[in-house]
Amino acid sequence: MFSYADEGMLLPNQLKTYYKDMKKAGLRMSYKKIYNENKPSVKDAIVSLGGFCTAEIISPKGLMLTNHHCGYDAIAENSTVENDYLTDGFWAYKMEEEIPIAGLTASIVVRIEDVTDIILSQLNSNLDVDERKLRIKQISNELIDKATKGTHYSAYVKSFYEGNEYYLFVNEVFTDVRLVGAPPSAIGKYGGDTDNWMWTRHTGDFSMFRIYAGQDNKPNDFAMTNKPYTPKYHLPINIKGVKDGDYAMIMGYPGSTDRFLTSYGVKMAIEKDQPSRVKIRGEKLRIMKEDMDNSDEVRLKYASTYAQVSNYWKYFIGQTEQLKKNKVWEKKKAIENDFAEWVNQSEERKKEYGTVLKDIEGAYKILTKFNPTKVYYYEAVYSVGTNQFMIKHNRLLSELQKEEPSKDKLDKLLAYYKKNYKHHFESVNYATELKLLKRLFVMYINDVPQEQYSKKLLELANIKAREKFIKDAMNNSVFTSVEKYEQFIENPDKKTLENDKLFMLNKDLFDNYRKIIYGSEMVKVQEKLDNANRLFVKALREMNPSKKYYPNANSTLRLTYGNVGSYRPKDGVIYDYYTTIDGLMAKEDPNNPEFIVPKKLKELYAKKDYGKYAQDGTLRVNFISNNDITGGNSGSPVMNKKGHLIGCAFDGNWEAMSGDIAFEENLQRTINVDIRYILFIIDKYAGATNLIDEMTIIE
């Protein structure tokens, strides 16, 4: 069955509006069982994991399921050469074996409130941009204080439709989260960069964590006395399987989309922004991989960084390609032409919206001009571990340079540095960092217009022996040796910092970046663009009152519904809606680390020992549905018509890589791990039946 994707990352407190369409697609449960502020509902099992991924609670003991790539950083940080959890996997067969993950949080929505009328009623057209922003912030803070007073909850207000609507989110945030299980990367990352963003897939992209709470079942900092969290609701798991056309619903925390982006923004992305990011990330990957391939110690140190850089390196390649192929610029231009025609039909509209497109075009001229500094500073400077570590010390220099430094501020800064510096030095390799810095500084010099250089970068550009300068600067820096750093941080002085050439180059680049990107000219440009975008979206909704416009993703809880289904990526090609372990084995290549199959998995395959997780004599691995997701949805639950868990979402498809900017209804697909493959790995491969026993499984 071929189905067409239905655009929409819906706010779950508005499901009543879409309920008829959801039932038509196949839903067989009340919308009140999906989102309910007063009774246990599906939303109580959906977790924002660390603010970067989604997880779902799948047992009455706070057990969570998410993606392997979402847990990758935690798995890597707890891996050593002796206990390599990335390569071998990790399973806690007893709760006392679960590993606390410092800094990882689990946030669950308590309620969502539409506060649009409250905020907009206190704004008027006479307010300038700064006054408007300040007033919105003041009202939001009042709403947050009122919502959280006398509770242990946290809250925030988010804008939607580019500032035309506002919603208050009240959350319960847990800070004791522990790693429970993860398959080896040969399963969790099977296919690696080659298969990333591609269908067909055969990836067991999952890992497991658990929420712990205090004795009162409320959030509590890590303590050995904490107990597994008892959730208001956990998702039952259905292993009956999925069929082509089955209803599929995903709930999670999509990070960011930009579907109201104009043709001017698309042009900058295609011609300027994305090619630069691809170029820089490609070099970073090449340098890291060279050293990672030669040392297990270096591999573990850079595994998480490499995965993060690689993921969006390929994403930007794909998005640029599909923006062109799917003619997104032309589609955006057509919308703008219709908009202009509509505006010109009324003097009143001309008065309110007449300069919108002109303002957007003017803003992008400036943004495009300074895009090299924005991209190259972040990608080639700030994202390098050594540079990032140094930049955190800018505040220390600022304090030391004062005539009378504040002892209180210095003590707080030094306490912070002393607490965190060991983690930095343990996570980088000096030789690799040197290669990265030498290459990336040269790329910055070559590709950023000279009029956007910082003072010290201009000096560096004129030094012929640039690589020797960087090497000497690293050798003499207190930030590239743990021994030198420890000696410095015990008795810090401004002279040492001011004479540290590597540190001062970084500080100069940072100051230059802030001056250009956050300077008065750029701030005014961005404010003008934000205001024009707000009016543009407001006008589009007025212009097409019967059209369903969905708000951009902004890391808030959303729901998308649709169906399992095959698709045609191009003429003469049909992609089926599922893959099996037979296809996984067919891809095996013992000489390619991306396609190595673990010995035990091969043994289970040879015996066809799939247990109760098989279908038609084989084991299904992944399936696709036409749900509307993006980054941040990683790890989100895929649920059937009754709200039972049938899979875990982990990726999008190559043909719809432009989807974050323009939804592609004929092509958009979500790639999911079949829940039966996940349970098979936990049960038959890992033997972690203790985890299976916790779950509510519907056979």
Q: Which residues are catalytic?
A: 69, 205, 634
Residues 428 and 290 in one domain: yes
Q: Percent of the chain scored above 70 by pLDDT?
A: 99
Residues 220 and 274 in one domain: no
Confidence of residue 6 (pLDDT cuts 50, 70, 90): low
Nearest CA-CA partner of 15 in 42, 39, 38, 40: 42
Nearest CA-CA partner of 434 in 465, 394, 475: 475
Please provide the DSSP assignment of 325-368 as one string: HTTHHHHHHHHHHHHHHHHTT-HHHHHHHTTHHHHHHHHHHHHH
82 in a structural domain: yes
Given this model, what pLDDT does residue 499 score? 96
Per DSSP, 2 falls in state: B
List the structure tokens of 223.
């303590």
Find residue 66's DSSP bridge partners.
207
Residues 241 and 293 in one domain: no
Distances from the Cα of 656 to the Cαs of 197, 354, 409, in angstroms? 10, 33, 50
3-state helix, strand, coil in the chain (%, to 5): 50, 15, 35
Residues 6+ apart with CB under 8 A from 321: 657
Please provide the DSSP assignment of 302-321 as one string: HHHHHHHHHHHHHHHHHHHH
113 in a structural domain: yes
The answer to whether residue 3 scores a pLDDT higher than 60 is no
- Residue 21 sits in a domain whose CATH number is 2.40.10.120
Domain count, the chain: 3
Given this model, what pLDDT does residue 461 score? 87
The answer to whether residue 4 scores a pLDDT higher than 70 is no
Residues 416 and 309 in one domain: yes
529 in a structural domain: no
447 in a structural domain: yes
> Which single residue is written with the structure tokens 């940072």?
510
Residues 152 and 199 in one domain: no
692 in a structural domain: yes
Q: What angle do CA 690, 692, 696 make, to 5 degrees?
A: 130
Q: Once rounded to an integer, what is the mean pLDDT over residues 410-435?
A: 94
- Domain encompassing residue 131: 108-173
Q: Once rounded to an integer, what is the mean pLDDT over residues 178-202?
A: 96
Instruction: Reduce the DSSP state of residue 118 to 3 states and report it.
Output: helix
Residues 273 and 335 in one domain: yes
List the structure tokens of 650.
């982990």
CB 677 within 8 A of CB 619: yes
The answer to whether residue 7 scores a pLDDT higher than 80 is no
- Of 157, 173, 189, which residue sits at a domain end? 173
Residues 209 and 334 in one domain: no
Given this model, what pLDDT does residue 480 score? 95
Of the ranges 270-279, 365-374, 408-417, 568-577, which one carries the lowest mean pLDDT score? Answer: 568-577
End-to-end Cα, the chain, rounded Å: 25
Q: Write the pLDDT tens digit of every residue in 616-632.
A: 999 999 999 999 999 99
Residues 344 and 392 in one domain: yes
The answer to whether residue 192 scores a pLDDT higher than 90 is yes
Given this model, what pLDDT does residue 124 score? 85
Given this model, what pLDDT does residue 419 score? 92
Q: Once rounded to an integer, what is the mean pLDDT over residues 72-92?
A: 96
526 in a structural domain: no
5 in a structural domain: no
Nearest CA-CA partner of 332 in 256, 255, 270: 270
φ/ψ (deg, to 5) at 366: -70, -45
- Of 137, 153, 173, which residue sits at a domain end? 173
Confidence of residue 130 (pLDDT cuts 50, 70, 90): confident
Torsion over CA: 408, 414, 418, 421 (sign): positive
Q: Write the pLDDT tens digit of every residue in 134-176.
A: 999 999 999 999 999 999 999 999 999 999 999 999 999 999 9
- Of 173, 198, 221, which residue sits at a domain end? 173
Distance (Å, whole) CA 372 – CA 375: 5
Q: Write the pLDDT tens digit of every residue in 22-45.
A: 999 999 999 999 999 999 999 999
CB 86 within 8 A of CB 76: yes
Distance (Å, whole) CA 641 – CA 275: 42
Rg of the chain, C-alpha, whole Å: 26
Q: State the CB neighbour count (10 A cutoff) for residue 492.
A: 18
Residues 612 and 692 in one domain: yes
Helices (H), 449-519: 455-461, 466-476, 482-490, 494-498, 501-517
Residues 477 and 450 in one domain: yes
Distances from the Cα of 601 to the Cαs of 99, 609, 646, 687, in angstroms? 25, 10, 22, 12
CB 34 within 8 A of CB 557: no
The answer to whether residue 597 scores a pLDDT higher than 70 is yes
4 in a structural domain: no
Per DSSP, 401 falls in state: T
Residues 381 and 301 in one domain: yes
Residues 253 and 121 in one domain: no
Average pLDDT, the chain: 95
